Chain A
Amino acid sequence: MRGVTLISAVIFLAFTIAAIAIVYQAAVPVINKMQAAAAIDNMRSNFIELDSMISEVASEGKGSKRTIFIDPNPGIFYVDGGSDMIYWVYETSALIFSPRTYQSFGNLRIGSNLDMNATESTFGSSDAFILENEHVIVYLNKTGTSSSYAGLRTTDLLLAVYQKDMQKYLNLSSLNITIDDNPDSSEGNGYTTLLESGTYLPYATVTSYINSTYIPYYINFTLEAGTDFLEIEVST
């Protein structure tokens, strides 16, 4: 009967292991997602409280202070004195935010893929809008305003693209945009504008309005966080 006992034990053990494996496989991803949601919700509450405390201290006299206890785990907590920002970075596969989006709650910004910077500066001798993410830096011509149009050709819009991974400027042929293959549509007067400037953005868009003799239209240049390509969208 020893053999029977041994077989029974093996079968019992096999069923137990199989049951545990099935439960583990089903439960762990769900628990991870729920944990991620709870961690983000908890940190959102902490940041709202922190923001409130900072406002209170700023409104009070010299020497005023508060104490707050924040557990950054899971995730990494950063204090950036240079840009007066406190931020928390956490990676999860749970769909708590749509990719490359953010939502503002007062001074608190919460979102995903927030690694875009959009600024105004110069490129060579030209005023430029600079869109930068972890892979590329795109320089776009800054010219005219919505109240004061400047002469504009589509070939002059894109100034340069710097590929950060390869550490070199891309050798671009000129960008020429036309509507209905009509050459008159590639130039006119108009302006370019940066829709939102700043750091830690999910994407940044420079819009160019071209009032050509053929048709007035807009060109949107959008660089999204984490991508190494520029989206160009034309609309009337």
Chain B
Amino acid sequence: MRRGISPIIATVMLILIVTVIAATVGPWMLNLARDTTNQTSTDTDTALRCQNTAYDFDTDYATNGINWTPSQSELKVKITNTGTINVHNFSFEITVNTTIINIYNLTDATQRTSETPLKPGQSAILEADSVSGLVGSTLNSVKVLNEVCPSLYVEQDV
């Protein structure tokens, strides 16, 4: 019968190998766990926030909530926060002449920031900034985007 390494040497080698592997994998595993924990928590917060974020056009205002004056190239939209989360930093994505899509920021006077958000139940008139290039254009639809829950938007045909 051939003899291998002694049990003591085998044990010491085993312990050393396990220790080295633990020292190498341990920090990586802890970092992975920490990152996963943070990401999961962030994802849950985002999902909850988006689940409770809602706003809609105030259809009592102008035409279906949109006031578009082509001759003056003035675009105003009235929206109401119908959710339970503050919403802010809006922008418009508008479709003109059936195909052209542009994204416009709001004028400083009508923009809602994190310090002055649109609170639940509140309504506000938002006005697009720098739409002077659209004088005489035909407006097809307006999409109102926000930064609180970027995946959420409302769209209204004109």
Known contacts A4-B14, A102-B121; A97/B44 CB under 8 A = no
Contact A101 B120 (CB under 8 A): yes
B151 interfacial contact with A, CB 8 Å: no
B41 interfacial contact with A, CB 8 Å: yes
Bound-complex Cα distance A11 to B26 (A): 13
Whose C-beta in chain B lies nearest to the C-beta of A104?
Answer: B121
Q: Which residues of B contact A96 (CB under 8 A)?
A: 48, 52, 84
A14 CB → nearest B CB, Å: 9
Contact B48 A103 (CB under 8 A): no
> Which of these, B11, B44, B117, contacts A33 with CB under 8 Å?
B44
> Which of these, B29, B33, B44, B85, contacts A98 with CB under 8 Å?
B85
Bound-complex Cα distance A101 to B53 (A): 13
Contact B11 A4 (CB under 8 A): yes
Contact A3 B11 (CB under 8 A): yes
Contact B45 A95 (CB under 8 A): yes
Q: Which residues of B contact A26 (CB under 8 A)?
A: 33, 36-37, 40-41
B27 interfacial contact with A, CB 8 Å: no
B49 interfacial contact with A, CB 8 Å: yes
Interface size of A as a range: 20 to 34
Known contacts A4-B14, A110-B84, A111-B84; A98/B117 CB under 8 A = yes
Contact B120 A33 (CB under 8 A): no
Known contacts A98-B119, A101-B84, A110-B84; A33/B45 CB under 8 A = yes
Interface size of B as a range: 20 to 34
Q: Which residues of B contact A25 (CB under 8 A)?
A: 33, 37
Contact A111 B120 (CB under 8 A): yes
Q: Which residues of A contact B41 (CB under 8 A)?
A: 26, 29-30
Contact B48 A94 (CB under 8 A): yes
A48 CB → nearest B CB, Å: 15
Contact A98 B121 (CB under 8 A): no
A22 CB → nearest B CB, Å: 4
Whose C-beta in chain A lies nearest to the C-beta of B46?
Answer: A95
Q: Which residues of B contact A101 (CB under 8 A)?
A: 84, 86, 119-121
B8-46 Cβ-contact flags toward A at 8 Å (1 or 0): 000100110010001000000100010011001100110
B69 interfacial contact with A, CB 8 Å: no
Known contacts A30-B40, A102-B121, A104-B121; A37/B48 CB under 8 A = yes
Report 6 cross-chain contacts, Cβ distance below 8 Å, ordered by A residue.
A26-B36, A29-B44, A96-B84, A98-B85, A101-B120, A111-B120
Q: Which residues of A contact B (CB under 8 A)?
A: 1, 3-4, 7, 11, 18, 22, 25-27, 29-30, 33-34, 37, 94-98, 101-104, 110-111
Report, nearest first, the 10 A-B pairs whose CB atoms are least far apart: A98-B86, A26-B37, A103-B120, A22-B33, A97-B84, A101-B120, A30-B44, A101-B119, A103-B84, A98-B85
Known: A33-B48, A96-B52, A97-B120. 15 other contacts (CB 8 A): A3-B11, A4-B11, A4-B14, A11-B22, A26-B41, A95-B52, A96-B84, A97-B52, A97-B85, A98-B120, A103-B83, A103-B84, A103-B121, A111-B84, A111-B120
